[in-house]
A and B are shown apart, each in its own frame.
Chain A
Amino acid sequence: MSRRDFNIAAMPGFATIAIAAFVLLYMPIVTMVIYSFNASDSVALWGGFSLRWYAIAWENDFVKEATVRSLVLAASAAVIASALATLAALGTTRRKRFKGQTFIYVMINQPLMVPEIVTAVALLIFFAAIKKATGYTGLGYLILAHSAFCVPFAYLPIRARLEGMDLTLERAAADLYATPFQTFRRITLPLMAPGIAAGAMLSFVISLDDVIITEFVKSAGQDTLPTYMLGQLRRAVTPEVNAISTALLVLTVLMLTAFFLLTRKRG
């Protein structure tokens, strides 16, 4: 005999809506991935499996250049943002609340609160003036902008890691004759490492994804992969964009999986 419990957590239709929503959430992405392997010229008709569009994208110098630029930018932003966020996290956790701490929080999280288009406009105006004054039009502007908006994304996991750390470990090190620097180098930093790595990875993904700020800040000929794609979309949609998107997607998912493995609670 099998009887069913009265399921207190069940709500009528919720599971159906949820499953349908998950399907709809993935359908466009999956379609895009499938069509990136399409042999046909058309974006709509299926012409058999082929890596043709990946090859075309690979041979496109604009794509190659944009890819390198995107990766350099993302790596620089990740290093700078996670380094500064590490210092800030050390400064704002595990000590008595001090005056101005709220201000520091607000400043660090500011990029999350201000609409991206507003920041983009602000940076456009600011950098235009500097460009005019100095004549410098290099990648520095983009690195500065990307590092800045990546700081909150790097700060959050690092801070979470620090807050979960046991202060007595450092006291024990000090008790065993370690100098403050040795304590930091041998105890604190290794323990923080997974948080820093997670923060750097998030920063990398966030920088790699950015469209709006990059579009406004970049000088001529400084396309990143997303701004190149945006430019392509404005003209005609070619399956090449499918291939680039899929490659970018795979990269993002790999980084995210690594992030989840790093931040997963152990023991």
Chain B
Amino acid sequence: MTDQAAVEARNAARHYGSGQSVVKALDDVSLTIRKGEFFTLLGPSGCGKTTLLRLIAGFETPTSGQILLSGQDITDIPPNKRKVNTVFQSYALFPHLSVAANIAFGLEMLGRPKAETAARVEEMLALVRLDQMADRKPAMLSGGQQQRVALARALAPGPEVLLLDEPLSALDLKLRKEMQLELKRLQTETGITFVFVTHDQEEALTMSDRIGVMRAGKLQQVGGPREIYNGPVNRFVADFIGETNFLTGTLEAGRVRLPSGEMLDVPEATGQGEVTLAIRPEQIRIDPEGALEARLTQTVYFGTDTHCHLQLKDGTEIVARLQSPPSGDVGLSIGETLRLSPVPGSVQVLEGD
């Protein structure tokens, strides 16, 4: 990974319709994706992540702003002249062509010599472990195999950037986990910049070098998985990525006063006034010395973890995730009153909504 830009969006906007009924699918987004990184665009459906991907691929043109590839403005370059390739959500494999012919397609269109194309196809088949399937038609393959063909086909021409549009969404859970590792391996082996679109936060966290979280056509936060998970900039990001408990209170010189009157130490917070605090369930400890008093209302056993549903004195419902002991029983009884404290440094002070 280098600091050179592979893809840049400069004030890119994409509007549909006009006048009163204009829909801003992408609203003034600026973003730099670095060469060789695995970058994920994450957000709920309709957040503009796929639109941004299609702007990079060239299937749509920004209403305003620019798209750059390796520093060159490609905004007006048609998709068949851009050195980016796409793995489509539905794979879009050519049903009348064999696996090998699908993979060779891009190279043929580029007019590469036959021998070179053949060798490259072999290489790609080996890379995605489909050597035995070269002559099959796509319809004769399983979903996972089709996925690999789509990958091989997009990688074969050696694009500067590979775009992946929710490619794992059609696979079942087990296969999806397998393909996540596979994708990560392919990205590392080829060193190609991957731009991956998903609505699945877990997928984003496990695979990405960096994540861009989007909402309603705007980029909310860009950063590494740990940074995004542990330091969400707003309530939306905190809520969308992982589970989070939100508490509201008033900030008073490094401490937050909760509605119940309890005081919580938040040394990293500065300023004053109303704030929202985000605390991850796994960062809450049962601690006889803890600042918060809560009543246990329910426990849900999840194998490795047990989720404890608790009610604070002011009525706020929160969840604490405790590691299950070998016996499986956390040894708490419903209705019991406990004292809690967040792990030091784990409380996030959020701005906005």
Tell me the A residues contacting B by CB distance below 8 Å. 1, 3-6, 8
The interface residues of chain A lying within 8 Å CB-to-CB of B75 are 3
The interface residues of chain B lying within 8 Å CB-to-CB of A6 are 58-61, 78-79
The answer to whether B63 and A1 have CB atoms under 8 Å apart is yes
The interface residues of chain B lying within 8 Å CB-to-CB of A4 are 61
The answer to whether B78 and A3 have CB atoms under 8 Å apart is no
Q: Can you name 19 A-B pairs with beta carbons within 8 Å?
A: A1-B63, A1-B64, A3-B61, A3-B62, A3-B63, A3-B75, A3-B76, A4-B61, A5-B59, A5-B60, A5-B61, A6-B58, A6-B59, A6-B60, A6-B61, A6-B78, A6-B79, A8-B59, A8-B79
For the complex, give the distance between the alpha carbons of A8 and B62 in Å.
16
Beta-carbon nearest neighbor of B64 in chain A: A1
CB distance from A121 to the nearest CB of B (A): 42
CB distance from A12 to the nearest CB of B (A): 13
For the complex, give the distance between the alpha carbons of A3 and B63 in Å.
6
Chain B contact residues: over half helix, strand or loop, or mixed? loop
Tell me the B residues contacting A by CB distance below 8 Å. 58-64, 75-76, 78-79
The interface residues of chain B lying within 8 Å CB-to-CB of A3 are 61-63, 75-76
For the complex, give the distance between the alpha carbons of A246 and B51 in Å.
52
The interface residues of chain A lying within 8 Å CB-to-CB of B61 are 3-6
Beta-carbon nearest neighbor of B61 in chain A: A3
CB distance from A190 to the nearest CB of B (A): 41
CB distance from B80 to the nearest CB of A (A): 9
CB distance from B66 to the nearest CB of A (A): 11
User: 4 shortest A-B CB distances, which residue pairs?
Assistant: A3-B61, A6-B78, A5-B61, A5-B60
For the complex, give the distance between the alpha carbons of A5 and B61 in Å.
5
The interface residues of chain A lying within 8 Å CB-to-CB of B64 are 1
Beta-carbon nearest neighbor of A3 in chain B: B61
The interface residues of chain A lying within 8 Å CB-to-CB of B76 are 3
CB distance from A6 to the nearest CB of B (A): 5
For the complex, give the distance between the alpha carbons of A155 and B231 in Å.
68
The interface residues of chain B lying within 8 Å CB-to-CB of A5 are 59-61
CB distance from B119 to the nearest CB of A (A): 31
For the complex, give the distance between the alpha carbons of A4 and B79 in Å.
13
Additional 17 contacts, C-beta under 8 A, given A3-B63, A6-B60: A1-B63, A1-B64, A3-B61, A3-B62, A3-B75, A3-B76, A4-B61, A5-B59, A5-B60, A5-B61, A6-B58, A6-B59, A6-B61, A6-B78, A6-B79, A8-B59, A8-B79
Beta-carbon nearest neighbor of A6 in chain B: B78
For the complex, give the distance between the alpha carbons of A118 and B76 in Å.
60
For the complex, give the distance between the alpha carbons of A62 and B267 in Å.
106
For the complex, give the distance between the alpha carbons of A8 and B64 in Å.
20
For the complex, give the distance between the alpha carbons of A193 and B62 in Å.
52
For the complex, give the distance between the alpha carbons of A96 and B82 in Å.
54
CB distance from A185 to the nearest CB of B (A): 46
For the complex, give the distance between the alpha carbons of A6 and B74 in Å.
13
For the complex, give the distance between the alpha carbons of A4 and B75 in Å.
11
The interface residues of chain B lying within 8 Å CB-to-CB of A1 are 63-64
CB distance from A5 to the nearest CB of B (A): 5
CB distance from B69 to the nearest CB of A (A): 15
Beta-carbon nearest neighbor of B79 in chain A: A6
For the complex, give the distance between the alpha carbons of A5 and B79 in Å.
10
For the complex, give the distance between the alpha carbons of A222 and B58 in Å.
67
For the complex, give the distance between the alpha carbons of A5 and B58 in Å.
8
For the complex, give the distance between the alpha carbons of A58 and B63 in Å.
63
For the complex, give the distance between the alpha carbons of A1 and B60 in Å.
15
For the complex, give the distance between the alpha carbons of A3 and B65 in Å.
11
Beta-carbon nearest neighbor of B77 in chain A: A6
CB distance from A87 to the nearest CB of B (A): 39
For the complex, give the distance between the alpha carbons of A44 and B75 in Å.
57
